[in-house]
Amino acid sequence: MKVLGIDEAGRGPIIGPMVMCGYLIDSRKKDELKESGVKDSKMLSPARREYLFGKLMELADDFIVVKLSAKKLTGLMNEKNLNKIEIDEMAKMIDLMNPDKIIIDSPEANTKRFADKIRAKLSNKNVVIVAENYADKKYPVVSAASIVAKVVRDREVKKIEKKLGKPIGSGYPSDEITIKYLEELISSGKDNDYIRKKWITYKRLKNKYSQKKLSSFGGSDEETNDS
Query: Each residue of 49-70: pLDDT tens digit?
Result: 999 999 999 999 999 999 999 9
- Name the nearest CA neighbour of 89 among 130, 113, 117: 117
pTM score, whole prediction: 0.89
Query: Each residue of 79-120: pLDDT tens digit?
Result: 999 999 999 999 999 999 999 999 999 999 999 999 999 999
Q: pLDDT band at residue 210, thresholds of 50, 70 and 90?
A: confident
Structural domains of the chain, with CATH = 2-161 (3.30.420.10), 165-218 (1.10.10)
Please report the pLDDT score of residue 223 as a whole number: 30
Query: Each residue of 171-196: pLDDT tens digit?
Result: 999 999 999 999 999 998 888 999 99
Cβ pair 196, 15 in contact under 8 A? yes
Q: What is the mean pLDDT of residues 16-37?
A: 94
Query: Each residue of 148-164: pLDDT tens digit?
Result: 999 999 999 999 999 99
Sign, CA torsion 118/77/105/31: positive
Q: pLDDT band at residue 212, thresholds of 50, 70 and 90?
A: low
- Name the nearest CA neighbour of 158 among 197, 187, 194: 194
User: Does residue 7 carry a pLDDT above 90?
Assistant: yes
